[in-house]
Chain A
Amino acid sequence: MSQHIARYGLLRRTSILAVASAVSVALVGCGSSSAAVAPAATAPTVSSSEYNAIIAAAPVADTSAITRGSWMESVKTRGHLQVGGSDAAQLFSLKDLETGELKGFDAGLSQMLARYITGKTDVLSLTKLTTVTVDTRETLLQNGTVDAVFATYTITPARAKKVAFAGAYYESGDAILVKKNNTSIKEVADLKGKNVATESNSTAALSLKKYAPQARLQLFQTDAECVAAVQQGRADAYVLDQGILISDASNNPAVKVVGQPFTKEPYGIGLPLNKPEAKAFVNTWLKKIYADGSWNKLWKATIGTVVSGDAPAPPTIGSADGS
């Protein structure tokens, strides 16, 4: 009986998902006559084999570094890294629907770390993803559901009381996206009194409170919804990580990115606070991939596909308040 109910529940959920995805497809379909709202494949992409080669070329730890009874040893024994992250974050961690592989800057780093510990090269089996949100990240690290969180996770002193941060491994900044014909918004000061959309899982909401306290916030769940809100005039502007906005604008001619980033967001790798060896180990690994160019190559293959120019210098480890 209970099995029957469980099956029924599963079927129901599947059908709800099917409806939801059908809806999102429909939305994308009718979002604009000229371009899709959702992340499309029009941006210069890096093929799976090129991407996999970058992960496979990343360094592997000496066996002496995997000390007994440590955080690293438990990952090595298990054979894969349990990662808390996203499968819908463009440029950072997006699921490739053909191969089922996660690709992006965050995803790539988690795969490199898993390779560093386990020594394996098969990208698909290196990590297992648990989708996390702002509401669940700290708790899932504390109760051991995930080994590490790679989720455009901005290092803040408040969060550092709950989890340990390795890094910063990337420094980003929030920029502004508006409709193509908008001329009134050029910088963050112009957001005063305007409706501003952002992702509910992002720290952009916090930066907006700080830099544009009189803006009216609209928190949507995904990037595509925020872009749609701007395109349909529901929001005057959309604020998020510049890389993601540039990618949106390159996929959608109805919107544009204005001005330069007005914040500095140091992203860190969330680790359990009660395993201090993990943080030191991951920081050592970060220094290695900075030095041997793996970090650089991964940046070029992910964020570098929408941001022009060379990879920036990686941020200094321990530079952010809370890391």
Chain B
Amino acid sequence: MNIVLSHFGDLLGGFWVTIELTLLGFAGSVVLGTILAVCRVVPITPLRVIGASYVEFFRNIPLLTLMFLFIFGLPDIGITYSLFASAAICLALSGAAFTCEAIRSGINTVPVGQAEAARAIGLTFTQSLRCVILPQAFRSMVQPLVNVFIGVALSSSLAAAVAVNDLTNRTQQLNLEYAEAVAAFLVAGALYLVLSLGGAGAGAWFERRLAIQR
């Protein structure tokens, strides 16, 4: 345990990489996921098909497989991203599928009468989505989005397998040198917990902010 504590600075460096991966991955998921969710609810069939296909593909392919394909497959057709960028993009691509479904289920919680009323007063599709449906839908999306955040944070550890110098990777390196697997992973686990709890805390704060005062 002393060895782990004396290398805590190094682990914190890895933790920072994990935070960056998580934030970039989650931000990317939310942007892409929102676009996909809109695609899935608009009354235009080709867009709905694209949205649905994306979700089914990226939700059902293991993230590690995606990372391997991205890192070792793409260079063969001449596209090479850095390891960190590859991992962040894969987290975003995979997270977007889950975010899309979280947002879509949020939209579905808004009673259909709201959309009909919006249309009845002459709002266009975009206006009714922006002014009526999404603001109400967002309340019920907060917790599912927290789940996506935690999912992205924890699966960022897969980046260690493709040589990204994140918290898991540094824990493994530490263990290679000092053979302190249990202590090292306990500390790493605690740091992941901090990150997840941070996400959950932010979610709870948002939920209170958005709650309707009745």
Decide whether A and B assemble into one complex.
yes
Does A138 lie within 8 Å of B181, measured CB to CB? yes
Contacts of B178 on A, CB cut-off 8 Å? 158
Q: Kindly report which residue of chain B lies nearest to residue A159, judged by CB atoms.
A: B179
Q: A135-B185, A158-B178, A232-B80 are in contact. Are A16 and B62 (CB under 8 A)?
A: yes
Q: Kindly report which residue of chain B lies nearest to residue A216, judged by CB atoms.
A: B165
Q: How far is the CA of A60 from the CA of B91 in the complex (A)?
A: 54
Does B176 lie within 8 Å of A162, measured CB to CB? no
Nearest CB in chain B: distance from A69 CB, A: 28
Q: A200-B172, A234-B80 are in contact. Are A158 and B72 (CB under 8 A)?
A: no
Q: A218-B163, A234-B80 are in contact. Are A19 and B181 (CB under 8 A)?
A: no
Q: Of B22-30, B63-71, B112-120, B197-205, which binds chain A?
A: B63-71
Q: A20-B65, A220-B163 are in contact. Are A135 and B76 (CB under 8 A)?
A: no
Please tell me if A57 contacts chain B, counting CB pairs below 8 Å: no
Please tell me if A205 contacts chain B, counting CB pairs below 8 Å: yes
Q: Kindly report which residue of chain A lies nearest to residue B161, judged by CB atoms.
A: A221
Does B75 lie within 8 Å of A234, measured CB to CB? yes
Contacts of A232 on B, CB cut-off 8 Å? 72, 75-76, 80
Q: A20-B64, A20-B65, A23-B68 are in contact. Are A135 and B73 (CB under 8 A)?
A: no
Q: Kindly report which residue of chain A lies nearest to residue B170, judged by CB atoms.
A: A219
Contacts of A156 on B, CB cut-off 8 Å? 179
Nearest CB in chain B: distance from A134 CB, A: 5
Contacts of B172 on A, CB cut-off 8 Å? 134-135, 200, 219
Please tell me if A53 contacts chain B, counting CB pairs below 8 Å: no
Q: Of A25-33, A71-79, A281-289, which binds chain B?
A: A25-33
Does B83 lie within 8 Å of A218, measured CB to CB? yes
Q: A27-B73, A134-B176 are in contact. Are A19 and B65 (CB under 8 A)?
A: yes
Q: How far is the CA of A109 from the CA of B177 in the complex (A)?
A: 25
Q: List CB contacts (< 8 Å) of B31-89 with chain A.
A: 61-62, 64-65, 68-69, 71-73, 75-76, 80, 83
Number of residues of chain A lying within 8 A (CB) of chain B: 38
Contacts of A229 on B, CB cut-off 8 Å? 72, 163
Does B73 lie within 8 Å of A219, measured CB to CB? no
Does A197 lie within 8 Å of B163, measured CB to CB? yes
Q: Kindly report which residue of chain A lies nearest to residue B175, judged by CB atoms.
A: A135
Q: How far is the CA of A206 from the CA of B173 in the complex (A)?
A: 8
Contacts of A201 on B, CB cut-off 8 Å? 176
Q: A19-B62, A20-B62, A234-B83 are in contact. Are A26 and B176 (CB under 8 A)?
A: no
Q: Kindly report which residue of chain A lies nearest to residue B75, judged by CB atoms.
A: A232
Q: A16-B62, A19-B61, A205-B173 are in contact. Are A139 and B163 (CB under 8 A)?
A: no
> What is the interface of chain B mostly: helix, strand, loop, or mixed?
helix
Q: List CB contacts (< 8 Å) of A1-42 with chain B.
A: 16, 19-20, 23-24, 26-27, 30-31
Please tell me if B94 contacts chain A, counting CB pairs below 8 Å: no
Does B161 lie within 8 Å of A203, measured CB to CB? no
Contacts of A106 on B, CB cut-off 8 Å? none
Nearest CB in chain A: distance from B170 CB, A: 10
Contacts of A209 on B, CB cut-off 8 Å? 177
Does A138 lie within 8 Å of B179, measured CB to CB? yes
In the complex, which of the residues A27, A137, A158, A197 contacts B68, with contact meaning CB atoms closer than 8 Å? A27
Q: How far is the CA of A231 from the CA of B169 in the complex (A)?
A: 23
Nearest CB in chain A: distance from B66 CB, A: 9
Nearest CB in chain B: distance from A143 CB, A: 11
Q: Kindly report which residue of chain A lies nearest to residue B86, judged by CB atoms.
A: A234
Please tell me if A123 contacts chain B, counting CB pairs below 8 Å: no
Q: Kindly report which residue of chain B lies nearest to residue A209, judged by CB atoms.
A: B177
Does A26 lie within 8 Å of B179, measured CB to CB? no
Please tell me if B12 contacts chain A, counting CB pairs below 8 Å: no
Q: How far is the CA of A200 from the CA of B177 in the complex (A)?
A: 11
Please tell me if A136 contacts chain B, counting CB pairs below 8 Å: yes
Nearest CB in chain B: distance from A71 CB, A: 21
Which among B71, B76, B169, B176 has the highest number of chain A CB atoms within 10 Å? B176
Does B75 lie within 8 Å of A158, measured CB to CB? no
Q: Kindly report which residue of chain A lies nearest to residue B181, judged by CB atoms.
A: A135
Contacts of B211 on A, CB cut-off 8 Å? none
Q: How far is the CA of A138 from the CA of B185 in the complex (A)?
A: 14
List B residues at the A interface (Cβ < 8 Å).
61-62, 64-65, 68-69, 71-73, 75-76, 80, 83, 160-163, 165, 169, 172-173, 175-179, 181-182, 185
- Listed by A's residue number, 16 A-B pairs whose Cβ atoms lie within 8 Å are A19-B65, A20-B62, A23-B68, A27-B72, A30-B73, A134-B175, A135-B175, A200-B161, A200-B163, A200-B173, A201-B176, A206-B176, A218-B163, A219-B173, A220-B162, A233-B80
